[in-house]
Structure 1
């Protein structure tokens, strides 16, 4: 069995939880989770990568086992989450790394890449959006309404995403065999977002998500300028970030490797072995120090 360490680090005065595995001198892969989950989503992926890579998977502030200060004490936004992630990596002495991004992990990862392009060795995006084409309108309509006017009515529209039924839907919708997905996933996530005050944390992040769309032109220019190796492995039945979001990467990265698998938003839950195999192949070809050792 692969040894996976469960650790905490103090970053900017906040206690950040992270999972870590793999050889200390190996190329680093940073796994960045989405909403409403945490690094628990990588519980099976970490051992699948750690024989060859140094894997680090933090919980964003306000999620999982990391601190969750109230909104009166911390200004939640994706700039802040990216800054904390950069601070954690600096504390761990990590200067170059590949990123795996999913859902909220994408805007965190995009900011890391834009702030320090030379640090990013490769990108794996699993339903981690970077293009407006990927935003499925039915899901995003109430969120856009909240961006336009934050009031009791529009807040109710986004609060619905915090319910147990909505979180269960994220895990099961589009999965060809729902029995493959453990109920532990949505029950675990719902319990954590239901902590007192965490609803306001999540509302703040829903509101700040609008800043990510404004970032897209800079992101696309980064792709064109850097030609960073990119693997998009996508649950094609996702009705949050649709498959057009995966295809769009090829516009700015013609060599992007795009795979649409039969699954949903949390693809690792039903197709984890297939995703891990695609990642291992991609990373072995994309990271020279690994390819040379094969």
Structure 2
């Protein structure tokens, strides 16, 4: 082998070694919060600004599997699974209170345990009522917010999709619950990923297959039904969250899948009433916008965070 080839081989090996140790590598951990094991994904330099990614229903931190590497060269990225989701513990409903107040309390304690004293938030679906509880309680900790199909206004749930949920919130009976249980089946899980997408063939079936596998674990549908009921507690908090927006004016990036039937486009515009400087991008996709427009959202986030998070 001549000198040029040796040099080239050495350069390739060094590059491969550097890549294997790059800060974009994701590691996987658990930490115990009040006796419950909370799983989380982590990447990026620990001394960099933190970005806390909060997932929606019926998924887990796996929804951020492609976003994390786009941010981790510059930010310390953390994405937990809530109790009852993903790889975190899922105590039975008679052993754990499945409410949004309690989930927010668990995530709050989680951030303390992992040393996230200040962070930018990414909230989607269930992540919004959890993240906004944290932000309203600890405004000094939140450096910026990215909202992707997460609601804080009545306009965002004033549509036909929410009608059976509102009936259940008003009257928690088995008959009303039965109208919601189809949302726990594979067809509905797949629908959340594919409905509103420009090209459903580009959305990996691994996403809804994994979510459904978690959903089908014994007792998990009971957990999710409790959270469906607890979601009815969130609208009462909307005025509090909106007051937080008006008072503290957190930098906000809105990347909204405009074809979403769960949280429709009507839920995005009201943020501008309280945060007129918010940056809004309505994307031609559905509920899980990261699946189809993850690269675009990642680029928007890098620019937005670069301006607002030091």
TM-score (norm 2): 0.92
Q: What is the deviation of 1:132?
A: 1.1
May I ask how many residue pairs the two structures share in their alignment?
A: 288
Does residue 158 of the first structure (1) align with residue 180 of the second (2)?
yes
C-alpha separation in 2, matches of 1:278 and 1:232: 10
Q: Which residue of 1 aligns with 2:3?
A: none
Of 77-86 and 33-42, more deviation after overlay is shown by 77-86
Matched, 1:49 2:71: yes
The residue aligned with 2:299 is 277
Residue in structure 2 matched with residue 122 of structure 1 by the alignment: 144
| In 1, Cα distance between equivalents of 2:282 and 2:270 | 12
In the alignment, the residues of structure 2 paired with residue 275 and residue 128 of structure 1 have an alpha-carbon distance, to the nearest angstrom, of: 15
Supply the distance in 1 between the matched residues of 2:187 and 2:168 (Cα, whole angstroms): 21
Aligned twin of 1:229: 251
Alignment of 1:1-294 (within 5 A): 2-135=24-157, 137-287=159-309, 289=310
Structure 2 residue aligned with 1:292: none
What secondary structure does 2:58 align onto? coil
2:234 partner SS: helix
Unaligned runs of 5+ in 2: 1-18
Deviation at 1:231, TM superposition (A): 0.6
Distance 2:242 2:208 in 1: 33
TM-score (norm 1): 0.97
Cα offset, 1:87, TM superposition:
0.9
Structure 1: distance between partners of 2:209 and 2:114: 31
Deviations 1:240-281 (A, max 9, x none): 001111111000001011110000000000010001011111
Paired residues of 1:29 and 1:97 also in contact (CA < 8 A) = yes
1:74-111 CA-partner distances (Å, limit 9, x unpaired): 01101111111111110111111000000000000011
Give me the whole-angstrom Cα distance separating, in 2, the residues matched to 1:214 and 1:263: 29
Q: Which runs of 4+ in 1 moved over 2 A?
A: none
Secondary structure of 1:209's aligned partner: helix
How many angstroms apart in 1 are the aligned matches of 2:268 and 2:308? 19
Instruction: From the CA coordinates, give the structure whose radius of gyration is larger.
Output: 2
Q: 1:136 offset after TM fit, Å?
A: 5.0
Separation in 2, partners of 1:236, 1:137 = 14
Distance 1:227 1:193 in 2: 37
CA distance in 2, matches of 1:130, 1:196: 32
Q: Which runs of 5+ in 1 are unaligned?
A: 290-294
- 1:219, CA displacement in angstroms? 0.4
Could you say what secondary structure the match of 1:247 adopts?
Answer: coil
Question: Counterparts of 2:158 and 2:306 in 1: how far apart (Å)?
Answer: 33
